[in-house]
Chain A
């Protein structure tokens, strides 16, 4: 097989953290190539580098044997490389036909737009793909599946040689998936290369010829799909077992602190029921987009659920706003620290004391001395590295920012603590500190719900692991029975049909 695209030694770092390490990979014309891996394993980063979204920190990419510098998505397109996003880029107010043409048409600024020819070509493309989309209607309101079809049509129109589909089936129905696969196969048979990123193993088996597995930013293995069993694929995705974290010991598990019954929000998650006891660490695993964060946000009142009940210490709770949740003893460390966590330009002390205005300002007036003492104590206790508590928090490292956010919530003395990916983007050393802290918090009798995509983290820390998949709770595994394989197989949807 001759390689259409050859990557050699491709690495990528974001702000000093290496997310892709020395990847060699060949993509051949006429094959559908699956990229598999856990969240954050590097497969999406690799795809984006090939598509010109990111530039590699080091390494080279050759196209048809000649090295190329894919500096931008526009250049990638001109080279015949198209990335189809999970939620495709579109101009919602323009017609389907225009979305197809935009950016490809030639001519000067006043060149005439050939509506008739444009519409005709668009119809022809849709016919080629065998999809029925009215090309004169606006993109707005088109289903995700149809938007993807339009993107694929775009790729065809620009005669793309490599089409990368990043989790294209995540929000498709079984019929839509079938249509997509038919088209993908046909494109392959025409001699194009297709890269298919998905978590659904059955789909991968159905569609793909070869598979490459990523783990921790490195390529682990490339093989023909038939050469590996599901169990072998999953084992390679999770890799060596980590046993370096200590589980808390000797903590008495108390009464139910948080009880969720039938929580549902349309379009996000349905019928979620579980409870978390005092002193218990309950993990929540699943793939990105499974609805875990949505559940946490609903419990905390950021975006309340449509139906279902929340009880705290046996009493029904009404939570419409985060401030209600805080008053009831809940705390939430959000996943997206940069947006929902820190106040970037404000001081560390203002960040740490943000959730306890009553403590620093008993009569409304902030007592700077009290504030400083509280913040300094927290800084010492959590070993936050900084120059001054008056320093803007944006100047701290990611791990120290995260510690400050945790410190903010410890100030409220919460009985229930929800941690959403608390160790994402944090150095290994600091991670271990976090694990100790989480153990200590449970030992103090707090109930902890830990959302994490890192399986070793869940296995090491949690008394029980809940698993979500496609908006539903699919497993509740006690510590004694929890293995990476069990969590992973509950997290990976068996097939697209399971969602519908």
Chain B
């Protein structure tokens, strides 16, 4: 029993609202945007390639796959959970798709099966978190290992390929100069931004993240929404897996290995709060492009891919610390 005489915190007279410009300035997305602009300026000075929009777009397709998943992951993290298994779900659903295709199933059906697999894997995560009430951060470490392992069981160390021409090379197909994956990513970001920012459903995701108990008291169906988010993670991961398969024209069990880092990084770099309740899709969208610029910049500057790992790791840690500091300041 807590002290009955303890009044709830926040007993003070009505404080004036912060001026609008100040509110905008402390938004972490603003930081992401500034970083993006800065990166573009630096990169443009570094290499003439960067004046070429076409070049940036072409080199972005690799990140669009992770970016797509990171958009949904943003919602999951806002709701106060996390999913570390999406890269493994990409691999497993792609392996299911490729194995079925190889076994003679029409490719259309195989794609449907791949996406259905993603939904099932997401539902499994949802079951562990919502029904068995395991902490998602550690449960999805388990499923990450399990799903990656099952991909290996399914595909061995083979590389499955031989897909029809229409399926392959989606990253080379464009509308004007914009590759399909970029269009897909942008549309998805728009759709999710609308969903998160303008619908009741999005509002309830924030409410769950701010206070799950208060959300339940206000009649929000917390478990249903969380389960839905995990299923959405699975489906999106499966779609991203298909995109990767199309880009690489082949499927291996180690597809997108380590991708969870890139996805979490995009969400964190976009200013979403690791403890939930704050953040947005716009930040993740900007952060994905920031990563495109940084990675492409490093490629152009002949910094080897492997040492980019250092940069990614530092960025992840730096962005959580910065986001935390910003929210701690405005939390009070």
CB within 8 Å of B: which of A42-60? 42, 44-45, 48
Interface string of B1-16 (1 = CB under 8 A from A): 1011111111111111
| Known A17-B7, A346-B207, A394-B10; contact A334-B217, beta-carbon cutoff 8 A | yes
Nearest neighbor of B327 in chain A, beta-carbon distance: A345
The answer to whether A390 touches B17, judged by C-beta atoms less than 8 angstroms apart, is yes
B193 CB, min distance to chain A CBs, angstroms: 13
| Closest chain B CB from A219 CB (angstroms) | 14
Q: Which residues of B contact A394 (CB under 8 A)?
A: 10, 331-332
Known: A346-B207, A355-B219. A16 touches B12 (CB 8 A): yes
Contact B17 A397 (CB under 8 A): no
Chain A residues within 8 Å of chain B by Cβ, number: 67
Interface status of B206 (Cβ within 8 A of chain A): yes
Whether A343 contacts B198 in the complex (CB less than 8 A), given A14-B7, A302-B216, A398-B10, comes out as no
Cα A385 to Cα B13 in complex, Å, equals 8
A173 CB-CB contact with B under 8 Å: no
The answer to whether A386 touches B14 (Cβ under 8 A) is: yes
Which B residues lie within 8 Å of A15 (CB)? 7, 9-12
Among A167, A321, A388, A408, contact of B1 (Cβ-Cβ < 8 Å): A167
Residue pair A346, B3 in contact (C-beta under 8 Å): no
In the complex, A391 has a CB within 8 A of chain B: yes
Pairwise interchain contact A425-B11, C-beta atoms closer than 8 A: yes
A369 to B203, CA, bound (A): 16
* Known A346-B206, A365-B198: A341·B14 in contact at CB below 8 Å: no
Chain B residues lying within 8 Å of A44, measured Cβ to Cβ, are 3-5
Which of A115-123, A250-258, A356-364 lies at the binding interface?
A356-364
Chain B: interface secondary structure?
A: loop
Q: Evaluate contact between A322 and B216: CB separation under 8 angstroms.
A: yes
Q: Least Cβ distance of B225 to chain A in Å? A: 11
A288: interface (CB < 8 Å): yes
Asked whether, in the complex, the Cβ of A338 is within 8 Å of the Cβ of B8, the reply is yes
Which residues of B in the span 165-222 have a Cβ within 8 Å of any Cβ on A?
Answer: 198-201, 203-204, 206-207, 210-211, 213-221
Minimum CB distance partner of A324 in chain B: B219
In the bound complex, residues from chain A placing their C-beta under 8 Å from that of B226 are: none
**What class of interface size applies to chain B in its complex with A?**
35 or more
Asked if A289 lies at the interface with its beta carbon under 8 angstroms from chain B, I say yes
Docked-complex contact B5 and A289, CB < 8 angstroms: no
Tell me whether A366 and B200 are in contact (CB under 8 A).
yes
B148 within 8 A of A: no
The reply to whether the CB of B126 lies closer than 8 angstroms to some CB of chain A is no
Given contacts A45-B3, A341-B214, A387-B17, contact A425 B8 (CB under 8 A): yes
Which of B211, B214, B278, B331 is the most central at the interface, judged by chain A CB atoms within 10 Å of its CB?
B214
A20 to B6, CA, bound (A): 11
* B277 CB–A CB distance under 8 Å: yes
**Of residues 23 to 67 in B, which have CB atoms within 8 Å of A's CB atoms?**
none
A205 smallest CB distance to B (angstroms): 23
- Nearest chain A CB to B229's CB is how many angstroms away? 17
Bound: A325/B221 CA distance, A: 12
* B247-284 contact mask (Cβ, 8 Å, vs A): 1 or 0: 00000000000000000000000000000011000000
Nearest-CB residue, chain B, relative to A12? B5
Neighbouring A residues of B200 by C-beta, 8 Å: 357, 360-361, 364, 366
Whole-angstrom distance between the Cβ of A400 and the nearest chain B Cβ: 6
A286-302 vs B, CB cutoff 8 Å, 1 = contact: the mask equals 00110000000000101
Whether B10 lies near A401 (C-beta < 8 A) is yes
A325 and B15 alpha carbons, distance in the complex (Å): 34
- What residues on A are CB-neighbors of B198 within 8 Å? 365-366
> Cβ of A484 < 8 Å from any Cβ of B?
no
* Docked-complex contact B210 and A343, CB < 8 angstroms: yes
Q: A322-B218, A339-B214, A343-B210 are in contact. Are A387 and B4 (CB under 8 A)?
A: no
Cα A40 to Cα B219 in complex, Å, equals 30
Nearest residue (CB) in B for A384 is B14
CB of B210 within 8 A of CB of A344, answer yes
Q: Which residues of A contact B9 (CB under 8 A)?
A: 14-15, 338
A16/B332 in contact, CB under 8 A: no
A45 touches B5 (CB 8 A): yes
A16 and B11 contacting across the interface, CB-CB below 8 Å: yes
Complex contact A344–B211 (CB within 8 A):
yes
Interface residues in A390-448 by Cβ distance below 8 A to B read 390-391, 394-401, 408, 424-425
Kindly supply a per-residue 1/0 record for chain A positions 363-386, scoring 1 wherever the CB is within 8 Å of any chain B CB and 0 otherwise.
011100000000000000000011
Shortest Cβ gap from A89 to chain B (Å): 14
List chain A residues, Cβ under 8 A from B332.
394-395
Q: Is the CB of B8 within 8 A of A398?
A: yes
In the bound complex, do residue A19 and residue B207 qualify as a contact, i.e. CB atoms below 8 Å apart? no
| Cβ contacts under 8 Å, B14 to chain A | 385-387, 395-397, 400
The residues of B that contact A400 with a CB separation of less than 8 Å are: 14
Known: A45-B3, A366-B203. A340 touches B217 (CB 8 A): yes
* Residue A474, interface by CB 8 Å: no
Q: State which of A20, A39, A357, A365 has its C-beta within 8 Å of the C-beta of B4.
A: A39
Contact residues in B for A385 (Cβ distance below 8 Å): 13-14
Contact B10 A361 (CB under 8 A): no
Asked if A200 CB lies within 8 Å of chain B CBs, one says no
Chain A residues contacting B218 (CB-CB under 8 Å) are 322, 354-355, 408
Q: Which residue of B lies closest to A334 (CB)?
A: B217
Q: Max chain A CB contacts within 10 Å: which of B5, B14, B16, B211?
A: B5
Q: Which residues of B contact A322 (CB under 8 A)?
A: 216-219
In the complex, what distance in Å separates the CA atom of A357 from the CA atom of B203? 9
- Given the interface contacts A343-B207, A394-B332, A397-B14, does A288 sit within 8 Å of B217 by beta carbon? no
Cβ-defined contact, B5 with A321, below 8 A: no
When the two chains form their complex, are residues A345 and B1 in contact, meaning their CB atoms are under 8 A apart?
Answer: no
Name the A residues within 8 Å of B4 (CB-CB): 39-40, 44, 288, 453
Query: Is B3 a contact partner of A337 (Cβ separation < 8 A)?
Result: no
Cβ A323 vs Cβ B3 within 8 A: no
CA distance A394 to B331 in the complex (A): 9
Nearest B residue to A48 via CB reads B3
**Alpha-carbon distance between A498 and B38 when the two chains are bound, in angstroms:** 73
Interchain CA distance A287-B164 in the complex, whole Å: 74
Tell me, rounded to whole Å, the shortest Cβ–Cβ distance linking B214 to chain A: 5
CA distance A288 to B199 in the complex (A): 40
CA distance A360 to B200 in the complex (A): 8
The 5 closest A-B pairs by CB, nearest first: A425-B7, A357-B200, A387-B17, A39-B4, A398-B11
Binding site for B on A (CB under 8 A): 14-17, 19-20, 39-42, 44-45, 48, 86-87, 167, 170, 217, 288-289, 300, 302, 321-323, 325-326, 332, 334, 336-346, 350, 354-355, 357, 360-361, 364-366, 385-388, 390-391, 394-401, 408, 424-425, 453
The 9 sampled A-B contact pairs (Cβ below 8 Å) are A45-B3, A326-B219, A343-B211, A364-B201, A390-B17, A394-B10, A396-B14, A397-B10, A398-B11
Given contacts A322-B218, A398-B7, 13 further A-B contacts (CB under 8 A): A15-B7, A15-B12, A20-B5, A44-B4, A45-B3, A48-B3, A302-B216, A321-B219, A337-B8, A338-B10, A340-B213, A345-B331, A366-B200
